[in-house]
Amino acid sequence: MASSSTGALFSSTVVLMCLLCSTTEAKDFLVGGKTDGWKIPFSQSDSLNEWAQVSRFRVGDSLVWKYDEKTDSVLQVSRADYLSCNVSTPITEYNDGNTKVVLKKSGPYFFISGAKGHCAKGQKLIVVVLSSKHIFTSGAPASSPTDGPAVAPTSSAPYSLNSGLMVMMMLGSLVGLVLV
Ligand SMILES: *[C@@H]1O[C@H](CO)[C@@H](O)[C@H](O)[C@H]1NC(C)=O
């Protein structure tokens, strides 16, 4: 009796701690998922935005680009310049071949290649950074900020169910400890 309630308390504490620990450390994301990821994609399924959509970016994380600085660059641009592949007035230009950008605030970031013609061929990237308040409620991947309808966060229910269950488990094991 005593050991099972202690076990329940222990496991719920571990679950709680892991929920916290997995969300606090900042990550570096290698753009495209590989060292030569910053290039014209072979196909739609190989596109940089496919990669971005299955990644979860949070405030404090960083993007890292590796590329040949003689032939390419990274431009952070406005949404309009992203859509039109206009390289003439970037917000920031990076051309050192090993670029790291810290994602300091939530919302969309737009990047295009500075190499002539590359953006039009798909070497472009939208990264949507989640604010920390999304951590426990949104299970949906970062949706693209284009003008389509917003994706409903359908997967938020299991999270609240889980935490409700956890609270019940913890209360149960506390009661168990008191009774013993
Ligand atoms: C690019 O943007 C600049 C500044 O907004 C503008 O003057 C220029 O005409 C644009 N170029 C093209 C090709 O749209």
pLDDT tens digits in sequence order for the chain, 180 residues long: 555 555 565 555 555 555 555 556 899 999 999 989 999 999 877 799 999 999 999 999 999 999 999 999 999 999 999 999 999 999 999 999 999 999 999 999 999 999 999 999 999 999 999 986 655 544 444 444 444 444 444 444 444 545 555 555 665 555 555 555
Nearest CA to ligand 1 atom 1: 86
Compute, in angstroms, the gap from residue 137 CA to the centroid of ligand 1: 40
Compute, in angstroms, the gap from residue 156 CA to the centroid of ligand 1: 42
Ligand 1 pocket: which residues have CB below 6 Å?
84, 86, 88-89
Compute, in angstroms, the gap from residue 103 CA to the centroid of ligand 1: 26
Question: Which candidate, 52, 25, 59, places its Cα nearest to that of 130?
Answer: 59
The four Cα atoms 11, 13, 17, 20 give a dihedral, to 10 degrees, of 110
How deeply is 161 buried, as exposed, middle or buried, from its count of CB atoms within 10 A (0-12, 13-18, 19+)?
Answer: exposed
Distance in angstroms (rounded) separating the CA atoms of residues 138 and 98: 32
- Tokens representing 78 are 């406005």
Pocket test for ligand 1, best of 77, 89, 91, 116 (most atoms within 8 A of CB): 89
What b/e sequence results for 11-44 when a residue is b if at least 16 CB atoms lie within 10 Å of its CB, and e otherwise?
A: ebeeeeeeeeeeeeeeeebebbeeeebbbbbeee
Which pLDDT value is given to residue 43?
87
Helix (H) or strand (E) holding 65: strand 62-66
pTM of the model: 0.65
In the chain, DSSP finds a helix count (H) and a strand count (E) of: 4, 8
Which pLDDT value is given to residue 179?
54
- Give Cα 31 distance to the centre of its chain: 12
- Summarised one tens digit per residue, pLDDT across range 28-56 is 999 999 989 999 999 877 799 999 999 99
